[in-house]
Amino acid sequence: MLTLQAKKFETISSSDTVAILCTQEQIDSNSFIPQPLSDVFAIINTKTFKAKPNTYFFAALKDKPSILLVGLGSHKDITPESLRNAASVIVGACSDKSVSEVHIVVPEINVTNDTARYIAEGVYLANYAFNRYKTQKEETSPLLEKAILLSDNPGQLSPLLKEVSIVCSNTLLCRDLVNEITENANPLTIAKLAKKIAAQSKIKCTVYNKKDIEKMKMGLLLAVSQGSMYPPHLIVMHYKGAPSKKDSIALVGKGITFDTGGINLKPSGHIETMRTDMAGAAACLYTINAIAQMKLPINVYTVIPLAENMISHTAYKPGDVFTAYNGKTVEIGNTDAEGRLILADALSFTEKKLKPKAIIDIATLTGACIVSFGEIVAAYLTSDESLSTALFNASETTGEKIWRMPLYKEYNEEIKSDIADIVNVPAVRNAGTIIGATFLKNFIENTPWAHIDIAGTSWYSKNRGYNPKNATGFGVRLLYEFVKNFGVR
Ligand code: BES
Ligand code: MG
Ligand code: ZN
């Protein structure tokens, strides 16, 4: 993983590479050259460089530091996200030029006080590749080993860089787990991994196996898993950073390690990426790890139902009826709407047994969410205004974008069943994301609750700025920021 440091400008030596982020206005007025580097700029010609976003200029010099100019675009267009993305250009350029250690001049732009944070985040998050299954390592692009932010007051930056390193390294670990193949990321291996993480980070962890789940009568989690060779598991983790307080926040993550669709089998074109269906679980796992590593003074639960939605002769079928943990009966309208089933049991268990102050679930729940928001924005639904505000604020801070959808009670009519209390998918398939959340709402009695649908944002079909193609790790930074501010202390 990347080492992030802060140092004074004077520490630069002639063998170093210095990255300078500059705006078009700074280029036009020739005011982008840091004073200590003026002798270097005297001998290089930067005239062709216009500081447009996503562009860079590189000059390798003998006996002087090498220079990397990176465009920020126009001053008026600078945002936290544009700074993170510009920082990702530094990473790409260093990879192209095989530079493994870079010094970065933090630009003085009076847009935000957090420029250093956004640049550090962008560098950390862009510096990622999933190469585990490449045997020809020469074909993989090299990553940065060290990024050093140049500052007059390096000591001031170090707590910030520590937090960025912890939260972003957990985001990268989340990506790794979601990218991992099902042979190595299934209900058994993820339960083991949770135990290992918990032991390292002083988190309490209980793993319930199939027998326990049968005893607890989680009929929906059992139904979804019954076609698979992997038995279901339920992970409960508890981090107590505020031992004197009894309130906790609970994070619940969908852990379908592969979603074939079951008997309602997914077609080609939709099934290939379905190992991403545990991205909610992975986000919860690494959020609680980040919180524990930062020793935040708050209490958090993470609850993860794990199953594989497999097609087989033992698989559950459309038209079947199962009894949930909370006693409600559920008709299976479609075996591909499995996420809401395992979450239903996990949510009522969380409310009844753990009694948290608030519950947030995060899930790759509906393809309809991608229809609404594409891969850029996650949907969130809640009836609680203070949760809504806190989640949205965390989204604005982190750049992990979420947008609210309504949960009007009229939608309840749609999931009435002829033969059971409710059905997991209505015959007419409108408002898919809202219907998914409306189903989940039936399994919460009165705890403030919010649902986040990350079907689009957890997996990218192409590289976008500091997020790579495939697993994005979406949710770790959002939930960390939310719990940090909302948690009881
Ligand atoms: N895991 C999928 C949702 C999904 C789709 C996640 C694309 C990531 C990318 C979920 O289990 C599912 O299959 N949902 C169905 C629901 C339908 C049967 C009501 C869907 O969206 O088609
Ligand atoms: Mg499905
Ligand atoms: Zn699914």
**Do 278 and 257 touch, CB atoms closer than 8 A?**
yes
Ligand 1 and 367: CB distance under 6 A: yes
Q: What is the pLDDT of residue 153?
A: 87
Q: Which residues contact 257 (CB under 8 A, 6 or more apart)?
A: 182, 185, 186, 187, 190, 230, 275, 277, 278, 306, 307, 308
The three-point CA angle 38-44-48 to 5° equals: 115
Q: What is the pLDDT of residue 35?
A: 87
Domain boundary among 152, 183, 199: 152
Same domain? For 91 and 188 the reply is: no
> How far is the C-alpha of 85 from the C-alpha of 102, rounded, in Å?
17
**Do 262 and 332 touch, CB atoms closer than 8 A?**
no
With CA atoms as reference, report the closest residue to 55 among 17, 16, 27, 31. Answer: 27
> How far is the C-alpha of 415 from the C-alpha of 410, rounded, in Å?
10
Locate the ligand 1 atom nearest the alpha carbon of residue 458 and give its number. 8
Ligand 1 and 342: CB distance under 6 A: no
| Assigned domain for 115 exists | yes
Tell me the residue ranges of DSSP E strands in 61-203.
66-71, 101-105, 146-150
Q: Is the dihedral of CA 119, 454, 184, 481 positive or negative?
A: positive
> How far is the C-alpha of 86 from the C-alpha of 79, rounded, in Å?
10
Looking up residue 28, the CATH number of its domain turns out to be 3.40.220.10
Ligand 1 and 434: CB distance under 6 A: no
Q: Which ligand is closest in space to the CA of residue 436? A: 1
Query: What is the DSSP secondary structure assignment for residue 202, as one 8-state letter?
Result: T
| Assigned domain for 107 exists | yes
Length of the chain: 489
- Catalytic: 266? yes
Q: What is the pLDDT of residue 111?
A: 67
Ligand 1 and 432: CB distance under 6 A: yes
Selected catalytic residue, list 266, 357, 401, 464: 266
Locate the ligand 1 atom nearest the alpha carbon of residue 367 and give its number. 21
110 φ, ψ (degrees, to nearest 5): -85, 60
Centre of ligand 2 to C-alpha 339, Å, is 6
Centre of ligand 1 to C-alpha 208, Å, is 26
Centre of ligand 1 to C-alpha 372, Å, is 13
With CA atoms as reference, report the closest residue to 83 among 32, 121, 119. Answer: 119
* β pairing state of 255-259 and 329-331: unpaired
Locate the ligand 1 atom nearest the alpha carbon of residue 256 and give its number. 1
End-to-end CA distance of the chain: 31
**Do 73 and 24 touch, CB atoms closer than 8 A?**
yes
**Do 68 and 93 touch, CB atoms closer than 8 A?**
yes
Ligand 1 and 337: CB distance under 6 A: yes
Total tally of structural domains belonging to the chain: 2
Q: Which of 254, 362, 366 to mutate to test the pocket of ligand 1 (most atoms within 8 A of CB)?
A: 366
| Residues near ion ligand 3 (Cβ under 5 Å) | 256, 259, 277, 339
Looking up residue 205, the CATH number of its domain turns out to be 3.40.630.10
- In sequence order, what are the beta bridge partners of 403? 379
Helix (H) or strand (E) holding 355: none
| Assigned domain for 157 exists | no
Q: Which ligand is closest in space to the CA of residue 333? A: 1
| Assigned domain for 161 exists | no
Same domain? For 476 and 439 the reply is: yes
- In sequence order, what are the beta bridge partners of 309? 259
Ligand 1 and 201: CB distance under 6 A: no
Q: Which two tokens stand for residue 377?
A: 């924005």
The three-point CA angle 97-101-107 to 5° equals: 95
Q: Which ligand is closest in space to the CA of residue 270? A: 1
**Do 409 and 473 touch, CB atoms closer than 8 A?**
no
Ligand 1 and 425: CB distance under 6 A: yes
Q: Which two tokens stand for residue 430?
A: 């409108």
Q: How many CA atoms lie within 13 A of 414 on its CB side?
A: 21
Selected catalytic residue, list 117, 340, 441, 484: 340
Same domain? For 134 and 193 the reply is: no
Same domain? For 293 and 328 the reply is: yes
Same domain? For 267 and 238 the reply is: yes
Centre of ligand 3 to C-alpha 354, Å, is 25
Q: Which of 336, 458, 460 to mutate to test the pocket of ligand 1 (most atoms within 8 A of CB)?
A: 336
Same domain? For 260 and 361 the reply is: yes
Ligand 1 and 375: CB distance under 6 A: no
Centre of ligand 3 to C-alpha 121, Å, is 30
Ligand 1 and 339: CB distance under 6 A: yes
| Assigned domain for 79 exists | yes
Max Cα distance, the chain (Å): 81
Same domain? For 70 and 132 the reply is: yes
Atom 9 of ligand 1, residue of closest alpha carbon = 455
Q: What is the pLDDT of residue 487?
A: 85
Q: What is the pLDDT of residue 364?
A: 99
Same domain? For 343 and 439 the reply is: yes
> How far is the C-alpha of 451 from the C-alpha of 105, rounded, in Å?
40
| Assigned domain for 176 exists | yes
| Assigned domain for 315 exists | yes
Burial environment of residue 152 by CB neighbours within 10 A (0 to 12, 13 to 18, 19 or more): exposed
| Assigned domain for 158 exists | no
- Single pTM value for the model: 0.98
Centre of ligand 1 to C-alpha 216, Å, is 27
Q: Which residue has the tokens 């309490």?
A: 204
Burial environment of residue 223 by CB neighbours within 10 A (0 to 12, 13 to 18, 19 or more): buried
Centre of ligand 1 to C-alpha 344, Å, is 16
Locate the ligand 1 atom nearest the alpha carbon of residue 364 and give its number. 6
With CA atoms as reference, report the closest residue to 363 among 385, 388, 397, 338. Answer: 338
Same domain? For 148 and 173 the reply is: no
Q: Which two tokens stand for residue 301?
A: 């639960």
Same domain? For 37 and 134 the reply is: yes
Provide the residue range defining the domain that includes 406: 169-486
Locate the ligand 1 atom nearest the alpha carbon of residue 369 and give its number. 21
Successive 10-residue mean pLDDT values, the chain, 489 residues: 94 95 92 88 90 96 94 96 98 96 90 88 98 87 95 91 98 98 98 98 97 98 98 98 95 98 98 98 98 98 99 98 98 98 99 98 98 98 98 98 98 97 95 98 98 98 98 98 89
Same domain? For 146 and 270 the reply is: no
Same domain? For 436 and 328 the reply is: yes
Centre of ligand 2 to C-alpha 366, Å, is 8
